[in-house]
Structure 1
Amino acid sequence: MFKKAEKVERDIDEDVALLADTLDEVLRDSASKTKEEISELHRKAKGVLRDARARFNDSSSLTQHARDMADHANSYVRDKPWQGVGIGAAVGIVIGLLLARR
C-alpha cells in the first residue's frame, strides 16, 4: 500500500545525495581545474540540478497518493462504520498503553 511513497522517498534521497556529491566535487575541484574543466563541472552540476528539480516538482504525485489513501480510508469507514469504530478503539487502546508505560 505504501510502496509507491517509499519509492518516491528513496528517489528523492538519491537525488539529494547525487546533488550534494556533485556540489562537493564542484567546490573541491574548482580551484585546481582549468577553465574548460570548470565549464564541464558547471554543465554537469546544472544537469543534476535540473533533474533533481524535475523530480521534486513531480512530488505532487506523492501528495496525490496521500489524498487517494485518505479517500480510500474515508470510504472504508463510511461503508463499514462499526469496523471503523473498532479500529479506532484498538488504536486508542494501544496508544494509551504505550503512553501509560512512560
Structure 2
Amino acid sequence: MAHDSNAEHLRAELKSLADTLEEVLNSSTDKPKAELDKLRSKAEGALKETRARLSDAGDKLAHQTK
C-alpha cells in the first residue's frame, strides 16, 4: 500500500512540475519580466523538490531490492 501511495505522490509531483514548466514556456512571450522571474523561480523550486523526492524514492527502491 505504501508503495502505491508513494508512486501516486510522485506522479502528482511530476504532473505539477510539467504543468509549471508548460506555463513558463507558454507565457514566456507575453508576460512582464517580473512575472517571468516569479514563474521561473516557481519552476526551479518544483524541479528541485521533485528531484529530491525522486532521489529518495530511488534510494528506497534500491534498498528494498537488496
- Larger Rg over CA atoms: 1
CA–CA separation in structure 1 for the residues paired with 2:43 and 2:54: 16
- Hey, what does 1:42 align to over in structure 2? 40
Match of 1:16 in 2: 14
Unaligned 5+ runs, structure 2: none
For structure 1, the 5+ residue unaligned runs are: 68-102
Deviations 1:6-63 (A, max 9, x none): 1121111011101110011001111100110110011000000000001001011133
Q: Following the alignment from structure 2 to structure 1, what is the Cα–Cα distance between the partners of residues 17 and 65?
A: 26
Q: Partners in 1 of 2:45 and 2:11 — Cα distance?
A: 17
Q: Comparing both chains, which one has the higher relative contact order based on Cα–Cα distances under 8 Å and sequence gaps of 6 or more?
A: 2
Count residues with an aligned counterpart: 65
Query: Equivalents in 2 of 1:61, 1:21: separation in Å?
Result: 26
Question: Normalised by the size of structure 1, how large is the TM-score?
Answer: 0.59
Q: How many angstroms does 1:66 deviate by?
A: 3.9
